Chains A and B, each alone.
Chain A
Amino acid sequence: MKLLLVLIAAVVLTVVLGQTAWQILAQPTPVDLRELVAEAMPDSGVAHPITAVLLNFRSYDTLLEIGVLVVAGMAGLSMRAVAPLEAPAMRTSDTLLQALLRWFVPFLLVLSAYLLWAGSDRSGGAFQAGAVLGATGVLLRLGGVPLDFLRPGLMLRLGLVLGFAVFLLVAVMGAIRGDMFLAYPQEWAGLLIVVIEAALTLSIAMVLVGLFAVAPAQATERDWPSREGKR
């Protein structure tokens, strides 16, 4: 009965939403942001509009979004001690995985670097590069490679906030120079964006690997009592 009601509500919502969206899309919008972006592109410091919007025109949104990622990573860390890296559950003798790792890891590192670099003039950038780098970390962890920086110490936290801190410093430099918060000096815009993106790539990867590492390797009933006892 409950399921039926939810189903009906979902169908009604979808129909109404679809109809409204259809009506809205049929009319032209009074403001055309694409035009405005195109006009401002020469001043943005990069050649790709998406990168320009994310890291220059609407950089404040991106700054806070990175803050959200850091909070997510932090909340994960605060909840659970990282399972020891040498835990038996994390050790593997899977030869196929080991062999694949040898091929994949260098390849993924190059791919991540390429995505970061590509972001300046085509689709790509910190989020994509960070996701690939994060996936590399996950693979390494699955392969039982001890990643020392994942211990909940200073290194992990430093990696977590590095990108955010670099972004924030660049942001406040604008205000210190007497300009607006987050304003880049025109001639440095391109370089600053690349520096921010490189730092962000590392931190985004760190958040992803960190969250993966704090998740229990094998959630068993035994996990909880042992944890309660420690405190």
Chain B
Amino acid sequence: MLALLIPGLLFTPLALAVLCLLVNFRIGRLFSWVGIIVQVLVALGLWATVADQGGLYYDLGGWAAPLGIELRVDGLAVTFVLLTAVVASAAALHAGAYLDPRKGYQSYFWPLLWFLWAGLNGVWLAGDLFNLYVGLELISLAAVGLVALGGEAPALRAALRYLYAALLGSLGYLLAVALVYGSYGTLSLSGIAELAADHPPAPLILVLAALGLALKTALFPLHFWLPAAHGIAKSPVSALLSALVVKASFYIMARLWLEMGEQAGSIWLAQGLGALGAAGVVVGSWQAFRQSRLKMVVAYSSVAQIGYLFLLFPLSWGVATTTAELAQQGITLHLISHALAKAAMFLAAGNLILAVGNPQVSALAGVSRFLPFSLFSFGLAAVSLMGLPPSGGFVAKWLLLQASLAAGQWWWIGVLLLGSLLSALYVFRIFRASFLETGSDDPFYHPPRSLEVIPMALAVMAIGLGFVANLPLTVMALPVGGGVP
């Protein structure tokens, strides 16, 4: 079964990228619907197989690891593959109705989307440092192309800035990879993990990788490119970027940290990254509160939510194994629930902007009366972002809270509480604007039901994650070999 699932997972997005490049928007959409079904089924199949039988290594081209490239198909990887399938399908289905097929350049959306999807799958599964770099490049360039789609001057400016930041970040990571290859003579992650005990890696390796990847993940204060790019892109694109793209570089950093952190990390690096994350939570939320455009609020909220991810480093360095596991679970759950909630939020924001015909927060007056459904999706997503029970965001923060206590690093608890409070601040500002009464006649365009349902489904999933959190938490911890007991 796996012999077909893994090639299917790699082949379908790439093949669809080729097919969709050769046709117009409508036919591309048709192809993409088929592709979405295949990808979701394959991702589900792979997830179920790994949950049942445990992870495995897949040797691409039949060449074993140090010589060839191996894929590491473990619980964490397939969990993210499934997450990608869910979020990307939602964004793609939304885009199919949201984008204007009369504009010729929009037809490039489909091939770029499929390349992005292939790159994401590639990064989650990669077991090779250089392969991770290639996957990261594929993701970055496809993402830049998606931001620039259409080529109006402000979008181009944001895309170019994004491109420079992404390239610089990649360069930092590539330098780190070169140093690793120089020290070990191999690029295979599993091989390096084995060797690291006897040959401790140079501390500079982790510092360079952390710098480069933090720039790509938009860790405060390296987040300068994110709000412009995520704020100006078309809403389905913003959803993809905030939910998945920034997570890819974080995922690589987390994997490096968990393999090499013990030898090459230091308390300074761990606490420093955590402190920057905490600063990001506060500054991002405050900036989100101050934005006048709806999508910029959501974009700055991403800066804040990304900050939490970096608590992984202090909470998993020099602490008991159980504490580190708790932190990993909390961070993974936060990543998943943020991906679902933020995608829902951007899509809902896109619908709201479509409805009122104006990107300003102040233009939302009257929305609660005439468009309650759109606003409700936005609100449900916000519940998870704020970390209110019973959402996935709540369970994630609860786990992080416990990890902070167990690690004796009580200062992160303050960050978690303050972050929730500040996110309530910017969310309620939007609600306040939308609850203003404007009069009894409905001035709004009503988006088609298909556009409305998608963010709702994502938001419901973000909330529902809180109820079934145990299942992903068990599967994500599965190493290579050995299924759920």
Task: Please measure, in the bound complex, the distance between the C-alpha atom of A155 and the C-alpha atom of B191, giving whole angstroms.
Answer: 45
Stretch at the interface among B57-65, B271-279, B347-355, B377-385: B57-65
| Residues of chain A contacted by B14 (CB below 8 angstroms) | 63, 67, 164, 168
- Please determine whether A168 and B6 come into contact, CB atoms closer than 8 angstroms: no
Whether B105 lies near A78 (C-beta < 8 A) is yes
Contact between chains at A179 and B62 (CB < 8 Å):
yes
A183 and B22 in contact, given A61-B131, A77-B108 (Cβ under 8 angstroms): no
The answer to whether B135 and A64 have CB atoms under 8 Å apart is: yes
B contact patch SS: helix
Alpha-carbon distance A33/B118, docked complex (angstroms): 28
Whether A58 lies near B69 (C-beta < 8 A) is: yes
Contact of A172 among B7, B115, B182 (CB under 8 A): B7
Which chain B positions have C-beta within 8 A of A74? 21, 108, 111-112, 145
Cβ–Cβ < 8 Å partners of B22 in chain A: 154, 157-158, 161
Complex contacts, A161 vs chain B, CB 8 Å: 18, 21-22
Binds A, one of B148-156, B285-293, B336-344, B467-475: B148-156
Q: Is A31 an interface residue (CB 8 A)?
A: yes
CA distance in complex: A64, B328 (Å)? 30
Quick check: B145 and A168 within 8 Å, CB to CB? Answer: no
How long is the Cα–Cα vector from A56 to B4 in the complex, in angstroms? Answer: 21
Selecting from B136-144, B221-229, B451-459, the interface stretch reads: B136-144
Q: Mark A22-65, 1 if CB is under 8 A from B, else 0.
A: 01110101111100110010000000000000001111110111
- What residues on A are CB-neighbors of B130 within 8 Å? 58, 61
Partner of A31, one of B61, B122, B148, B186: B186
Please tell me if B199 contacts chain A, counting CB pairs below 8 Å.
yes
Interface: B1 (CB within 8 A): no
Q: A60-B69, A80-B151, A168-B18 are in contact. Are A181 and B10 (CB under 8 A)?
A: yes
How distant is the Cα of A187 from the Cα of B276 in the complex, in angstroms? 55
Interface centre among B61, B142, B144 (most CB of A within 10 A): B61
Task: Among A65, A71, A78, A158, point to the contact of B115 (Cβ < 8 A).
Answer: A71
| Number of residues on chain A facing chain B (CB within 8 A) | 58
Complex interface bits, B1-13 against A, C-beta within 8 A gives 1, otherwise 0: 0011011001100
Q: From residue 1 to 58 of chain B, which have CB atoms closer than 8 A to chain A? A: 3-4, 6-7, 10-11, 14-15, 17-18, 21-22, 58
Chain B residues with CB under 8 Å of chain A are: 3-4, 6-7, 10-11, 14-15, 17-18, 21-22, 58-63, 66-69, 103, 105, 108, 111-112, 115, 118-119, 122, 130-131, 134-135, 137-138, 141-142, 144-145, 148-153, 156, 175, 179, 182-186, 191, 195, 198-199, 202, 204, 208
Residues of A within 8 A of B (CB): 16-17, 20-21, 23-25, 27, 29-33, 36-37, 40, 56-61, 63-65, 67-68, 70-72, 74-75, 77-80, 154, 157-158, 160-161, 164-165, 168, 171-172, 174-175, 178-184, 224, 228, 231
